[in-house]
Amino acid sequence: MDVVDRAIIDALRANARSTFAELAREVGLSAPAVHERVGKLEAAGVITGYHAAIAPESLGYSMSALVGVFMSDTADEDEVANKIAALAAIEDCWFVAGEESFVVKVRVPDVSGLERTIRALSKIPGVSRTRSTVVLSTRFEGRVQAAKPSEPELSPAPS
């Protein structure tokens, strides 16, 4: 992956609905060349899909929380992960190093929805306890830098 591929990725992250012609103008290539590069990025698993960004509040999900899930010593991680995945309120799930085994992102309409979700998590066989952090506001999320970590930043992080 080179600088042009990273520029294409940045452009698609800014607007996934960009045409190949628009991307080509932005990165200085022809539309067919961009089309070929995007196809290669998709085939390599770098680009895994395209989606519409949704404002959760507009759908009635005004509360989010990060919940640490602690497992018992005998718990099966895969079984617990499968049960977590079955809970509709869980938006993201990360297997982490540290005290918790998993950290999950919960998106619910209100406090009672969070309470129901925590209760459901606690009932999963192998979960010993949970620890919740309610999100008061989101400054940004879903940001993946296309630049290599060793490269200098080209623009400051959003404030």
Query: Mean pLDDT, consecutive 10-residue segments, the chain of 159 residues?
Result: 92 92 95 97 94 88 97 96 97 96 97 98 97 94 68 57
**CA geometry: angle at 96 spanning 95 and 100, to 5°?**
100
Handedness of CA 47, 12, 94, 84 (dihedral sign): negative
Give the Cα separation of 99 and 133 in Å (integer): 15
pLDDT at 24: 96
At 66 the pLDDT is 98
What residues have CB less than 8 Å from 125, skipping those under 6 apart? 75, 79, 80, 83
CATH 3.30.1370.160 is right for the domain spanning 3-43: no
Residue with tokens 């990025």: 41
3-state secondary structure of 87: coil
Q: Quick one: pLDDT at residue 11?
A: 92
pLDDT of residue 154: 59
* Helices within the chain (DSSP H only): 3-14, 20-27, 31-43, 77-85, 111-122
pTM: predicted TM-score of the whole model, two decimal places: 0.76
Tell me the domain boundaries of the chain.
3-43, 56-135
Of 144, 74, 73, 62, the C-alpha closest to 107 is 62
Using CA atoms, how far residue 147 sits from 4, 51, 82, in Å, is 11, 22, 33
CA distance 68 to 104: 6
CATH of 56-135, one of 3.40.1260.10, 3.30.70.920, 3.10.20.30, 3.20.20.70: 3.30.70.920
